[in-house]
Structure 1
Amino acid sequence: MRLTLFTATLVQDSALTVSGLDRESSADHPFTLVDGVPTLVGRGLKGAAVAMAKRFFDPLPRAVSDDIKYGALRRSVWEFANATPMDSDVIPRLRAGVGIRHKTGARAKGVLYDREVIPAGTKWALHFRVDWSYAENESEASEAEGILGYVLAEHWAKGRCWLGGDVARGLGWCHLEDLKAYRLDESSYERWVQSDRKELPPPLETVPTVEPTRSWCFRTLDVELVFGEYQPNPGEPAWGLDMLAIGPHNAEGMVQPTGDGTWAKPSWVASETPTPETIFTDRPILMDGARPLIPGSSVRGPLRHAFSRAERAAGRNVQDPHLVQGNVGDNDPAGQAFGTVNRSSRILIRDARAEGEWAAAKLHMHAEDEFSAGSYGTAKRDAVRLLKGVFPVRIVVEGPTPQEVEPLVALIDRQIALGALGHLPIGGHKTRGCGWGRWEPKGWRIDDVKATRTWTPSETSQLVIHENTYGMRDFLDAPEPEDACVRVEFGMMNGARLTLSEAANLARIALGNKPLIAWWCDRNYSGMTLKLASSIV
C-alpha cells in the first residue's frame, strides 16, 4: 500500500479562532489569513488530532508523533493539508471578551480583549493522508492508519472535535460530515497524481480503525437555559419576566440585526408593519447570524464564580485570577476545577445559540434625579433585551479516570441545581432584572472509552537501538544529514514522460533501496550535464 487518504467536511458548531501568523490587525488575537483567505493551518489540525489520539493510545507510535527529547527524529506518516472555507464569502468577525471580578461582578481592570472568529456553521474541506512509505513496516503503517481513522470516525464525527483556542470557553467546537477513506497502491497513486489529484479509487466501505489501548472518560450534559415568563404554577399568572442582556463587540456600533425573531412593537404601530432588518440602539445584544447567542464564557464564568463563593464560605481561600495574571497556583480549588496557566481545564462548555421561537424588545430607559424624581440630565438611553428564548448549552467533563471526572461532575451538578432554582444569573445587568433564567438539565450521558487491547511497538522502532549506537543527542546537535548524488538513465522520451515518482524509484534503487527523505531532480538537456541529487539518512 502506498497511501491512505481521508476526506471530510468540517462543520463548525460554534465560532472558531485560530491564530499563528503575525499580521497587521486591530484585534488582539487575529485569525490566520493567507492571501486574504481564512485558513486552518495543517499543523493546527494535526496537533488537535494528535492530542485526541494521545487520550486513547499509549504508547503512540513514533510514526505518528515523535518525541524530540530522546534522539533522532522520525518523519510522521500523518500529513495534514491546510483547509479553507467552502464558501469564499466567509470573513472573520470580532468577538469581545472581558474578565469579571469574582467578589463584585464588575469588570476587571485591563482584561478587555477581542479576537477574530469565523462564525458557526462554516464548512471546511479537509484532506488527511497516511503515507505508508514513511512507516518502518506494514504493521506500523496499519496502526497509524487505524489510529487516525478511529479519531476521525469515533470522535470528530460525533462532535468531539475541538480546534483552535478557547475551547473550554465555547469556541472551536466542530464535527465531521461525509467522512471517506481511500487506499491507494502504487498504480492508483500514479493515476491520482497524473490526474491532478482528482481520480481516486472507490472509497472503503468503512473507515479503517483500531481499538484503543488507553481508557478515557467523557461525561456530557445538555442544559437548556430558558428565558421568558416565569410561571412556576401553570394555573396561576406569571410571576415576572426573565430577560437576558449580553452585548456584542463595540465594532458593531449601535446597529442591532433583528434576525428571524419576534420584536415587540409600540401600540401605535400597526401589527402588519414589517420588522426592519436592523434597528438603531445604544445597547444591542450578541447575535450569531439570525439568532441570539450566549458565549460559553458567559456560562463558564458564573459557574466558576458560584463555586468560588461556596469555597470561600466554607473557609477555603480562592484566588481571583484577574488579580494574579491568571496564575492562581496548582493548589487553588477553583484552579483545580477550571484550569490554571499550567494546566488545561477538564470542563468544556460550548456556545449556545437560541433555538425555536425567540422574542426581543428595544426598551427606553432613563436615570431619575434622586431629589426631583425627574429624568436626570442626558441619561436617557435605550437597550435591546431578549424577552423569550431557549439556549441549549453543552458541558463536557473529560479525564483519564473516573476518580478525576466524578468530582467535577458533582461540582457541575451543584451549580446547575442553583440555576434550576433561578439563582445563577448570566450576562449583564443582573441587578436590573436580566440574566435570571432557568437552567433545565437533561441528564448526564456517559461516553467513556475503554481500553480493549495492548500494543507494543517493534524493537527496531524504539529509541534504545539508536541510543546504544549513537548515544543520546539533542535536537540542535544532531549530525549533518548524509548527502548522495546519483545519475539515472531514462533514454529518449519518445512521447513518454518520466514522472517524479519514477525518478525517485530509480534513485532509490541506485542507492541500495535507502529511503529518500529530501530530494530534487534536475533534468539533463542536450549539451548540459546535470545530476539527480538526494539527501539520505
Structure 2
Amino acid sequence: MSYRVIEALIKTRTPVHIGAGEGNELTDALLKRNAAGEVIIPGTSLAGALRGLLTRLAPRLGEGGICQSLKNNAAGVPCGCAVCRLMGDVNPADEETDEERKPQASASRLIVFDARPVSNMPALIRDGVGINRVTGAAARAGSAKFDLEVLPAGSVFALRMELRDTGEKDERLLAAGLAEWRAGRGWLGGNAARGLGAFKLEDLQMLAVDLSSRDSLLSFLKKDDPLELAIEEKGWLEEQLKQLHITMPPEPEKIPLARSWFSFEGVLRAEGPLLTGDVTSSGATGFDRAPLLSSLNRWHNPVLSGAGLRGVLRSHAERIARTLATLRAGNGDCFLSECPACDPVENRKEKALASC
C-alpha cells in the first residue's frame, strides 16, 4: 500500500477565463476565486477537462471500450469503461448493484485539488463585440457587446492529484492524458474557440510514500505534510507511455474519438496603422484608446485577440459560402432557404439570414 501524488505546474499559453458564473459593475464575467480572494482553477474544471480528453483517447488505446457518455446512453446502468473506473462512473447507480448485474458503479480513484496560483498575476478585462455583417459596425441590435475578466498568458498554477487504489491500466490511461497536457494540447475554462484557456504542464512528477509497514504508516500519520516522506518515481510518465498501444475501435465514424490534431503558425504583417482597443490599458493610461497587451504595462508586447482573428476569419468564410450558394439558388427565396451561412449576431428572426 502506498500514498501516491502527482504534482505539476500549469502554465497558461494564452489568457484564461475560469468563470465564477457572475459579474459586477466592472465586468460581465468574473474569474473564480476562493474565500481568500485568490484566483483558482477549481478541481472540478481540471477533472472535467481531463475526463473529456481521456474519454476520447481511451478507445484508441484499447483501454476498456467506449464510454456511455459518447453514445448518449442515459439509461442509468453503470458504464464500467476505463475512464469511469478511473474518474467515477457517469451513471452512478442509485441503489447497490446486484452481483449479476455487471459492471458495478465505482467512485473516482483520482482526486483532483483546486489549482492555486504560484505567483500573483494581475487580472485584465477583455472586451468583445459582435460585428454587423452589413454595416461593419457593432451589432447593437443583437446585444453582442460583452466583456470578461481574464488572467494573462504566462500565469502559473500548482496542480495536485492523488491516486487511490489505481491499477496499471488506470495509470497508463492517466499518463496518456497528462502527456497531451505536457505537449501543450490542453484547454481550460470558457471561450477556448476564441483563443483563451490554452495551457501546458511543466515539472510533472509522481511522488509516493510507502505505507506497507507499521512504522512507515505511523510516520506518515504524524507528519503535517505527508509529502515530506515522499520519494519521486523518476521516469514514471515515460515508462507508462511505453506500454501504450494504439488501436482502431469499431465504428469510429459514429463516435467522436480522438483521431488526429494539427496546428499551423504564420506571420501577420500590417500594411498600415493597426488599432486594437483594451479598456484596462485605456484606464491605466488615460487615453481614449490603448492597444491590447499580453499583460498590464507590457507596451512592447501588444497582441491581437483570438476572438478578433476568429471573427475576421468567420466573416470571410461566410462571404465565400454565400457566394457559392448563389450558384445553386434559382431566386432570392431559394437562396435564403439554402444559404449555409447565417448572420450569428442577428437575433431578430424576421430578418434575412437570422442566426440559426
Q: Which band: TM-score by shorter chain? A: 0.7 to 0.9
1:74 paired residue number: 106
Shift of 1:119: 1.1
2:138 paired residue number: 107
2:150 paired residue number: 117
Shift of 1:166: 0.7
TM-score for both structures, normalised by structure 2:
0.72
CA contact (8 A) 2:22 2:28 kept: no
CA contact (8 A) 2:12 2:154 kept: yes
Indicate yes or no: 2:133 matched with 1:127. no
1:434-455 CA distances to partner (integer Å, 9 max, x unpaired)?
xxxxxxxxxxxxxxxxxxxxxx
Secondary structure of the residue that 1:287 maps to in structure 2? coil
Q: 1:281 aligns with which of 287, 311, 336?
A: 287
Which whole-Å CA distance do the structure 1 matches of 2:218 and 2:45 have between them? 29
Which whole-Å CA distance do the structure 2 matches of 1:106 and 1:308 have between them? 17
Shift of 1:24: 5.1
Q: 1:243 aligns with which of 270, 273, 278?
A: 273
Letter of the 1:161 partner, please give it.
Answer: G
Cα distance change on mapping 1:43 and 1:306 into 2, 3 Å? same
Q: 1:84 aligns with which of 107, 116, 127?
A: 116
Which whole-Å CA distance do the structure 2 matches of 1:185 and 1:56 have between them? 31
1:34-71 CA distances to partner (integer Å, 9 max, x unpaired)?
12111110000110111111121133422224122776
Which whole-Å CA distance do the structure 1 matches of 2:107 and 2:157 have between them? 26
Letter of the 1:119 partner, please give it.
Answer: P
Which whole-Å CA distance do the structure 1 matches of 2:116 and 2:45 have between them? 13
Which whole-Å CA distance do the structure 2 matches of 1:37 and 1:284 have between them? 28
CA contact (8 A) 1:191 1:199 kept: no
1:28 paired residue number: 28
Shift of 1:192: 4.4
Letter of the 1:49 partner, please give it.
Answer: L
Shift of 1:243: 2.5
CA contact (8 A) 2:23 2:29 kept: no
Shift of 1:248: 0.6
Q: Which has the larger radius of gyration?
A: 1
Which whole-Å CA distance do the structure 2 matches of 1:325 and 1:158 have between them? 43
1:243-270 CA distances to partner (integer Å, 9 max, x unpaired)?
2211112x543544xxxxxxxxxxxxxx
1:322 paired residue number: 345
CA contact (8 A) 1:43 1:80 kept: yes
1:459-502 CA distances to partner (integer Å, 9 max, x unpaired)?
xxxxxxxxxxxxxxxxxxxxxxxxxxxxxxxxxxxxxxxxxxxx
Q: 1:155 aligns with which of 180, 185, 188?
A: 180
Identity among equivalent positions (%) equals: 25
Shift of 1:20: 3.6
Which whole-Å CA distance do the structure 2 matches of 1:169 and 1:202 have between them? 41
Which whole-Å CA distance do the structure 2 matches of 1:325 and 1:288 have between them? 36
Secondary structure of the residue that 1:100 maps to in structure 2? coil
CA contact (8 A) 1:182 1:200 kept: no
Letter of the 1:82 partner, please give it.
Answer: D
Shift of 1:200: 3.9
1:289-315 CA distances to partner (integer Å, 9 max, x unpaired)?
311011111111111111100011112
Letter of the 2:146 partner, please give it.
Answer: Y
Which whole-Å CA distance do the structure 2 matches of 1:325 and 1:37 have between them? 41
1:339-391 CA distances to partner (integer Å, 9 max, x unpaired)?
x9xxxxxxxxxxxxxxxxxxxxxxxxxxxxxxxxxxxxxxxxxxxxxxxxxxx
Indicate yes or no: 2:322 matched with 1:299. no
Which whole-Å CA distance do the structure 2 matches of 1:298 and 1:244 have between them? 13
Which whole-Å CA distance do the structure 2 matches of 1:166 and 1:186 have between them? 44
CA contact (8 A) 1:39 1:82 kept: yes
2:99 paired residue number: none
Which whole-Å CA distance do the structure 2 matches of 1:193 and 1:24 have between them? 44
CA contact (8 A) 1:3 1:130 kept: yes
- What are the within-5 Å matches in structure 2 for residues 15-414 of structure 1? 15-20=15-20, 22=22, 26-34=26-34, 35-58=36-59, 59=65, 60-61=81-82, 62-63=84-85, 64-68=87-91, 73-87=105-119, 89-109=120-140, 110-132=143-165, 141-152=167-178, 154-187=179-212, 191-195=219-223, 196-206=225-235, 207=237, 208-209=240-241, 211=244, 215-227=258-270, 241-249=271-279, 251-253=280-282, 255-256=284-285, 280-289=286-295, 290=298, 291-315=301-325, 317=339, 318-324=341-347
Cα distance change on mapping 1:96 and 1:192 into 2, 3 Å? farther
Secondary structure of the residue that 2:303 maps to in structure 1? strand
CA contact (8 A) 2:281 2:293 kept: no
Shift of 1:144: 1.8
Secondary structure of the residue that 2:321 maps to in structure 1? helix
1:362 paired residue number: none
Cα distance change on mapping 1:90 and 1:325 into 2, 3 Å? farther
Q: Which has the higher contact order (CA 8 A, sep 6+)?
A: 2
Letter of the 2:232 partner, please give it.
Answer: P
Secondary structure of the residue that 2:130 maps to in structure 1? strand
Letter of the 1:170 partner, please give it.
Answer: G
Unaligned runs of 5+ in 1: 136-140, 228-240, 257-279, 327-331, 341-537
Secondary structure of the residue that 2:26 maps to in structure 1? coil
Shift of 1:3: 3.8
Which whole-Å CA distance do the structure 2 matches of 1:22 and 1:95 have between them? 15
CA contact (8 A) 1:180 1:204 kept: yes
Letter of the 1:130 partner, please give it.
Answer: L
Cα distance change on mapping 1:189 and 1:248 into 2, 3 Å? farther
Cα distance change on mapping 1:106 and 1:200 into 2, 3 Å? farther
Letter of the 2:320 partner, please give it.
Answer: A
Letter of the 2:41 partner, please give it.
Answer: L
Which whole-Å CA distance do the structure 2 matches of 1:142 and 1:191 have between them? 27
Cα distance change on mapping 1:242 and 1:252 into 2, 3 Å? closer
Which whole-Å CA distance do the structure 2 matches of 1:142 and 1:25 have between them? 51
- Superposition CA RMSD, Å: 2.6
CA contact (8 A) 2:125 2:147 kept: yes
CA contact (8 A) 1:2 1:186 kept: yes
Cα distance change on mapping 1:190 and 1:162 into 2, 3 Å? farther
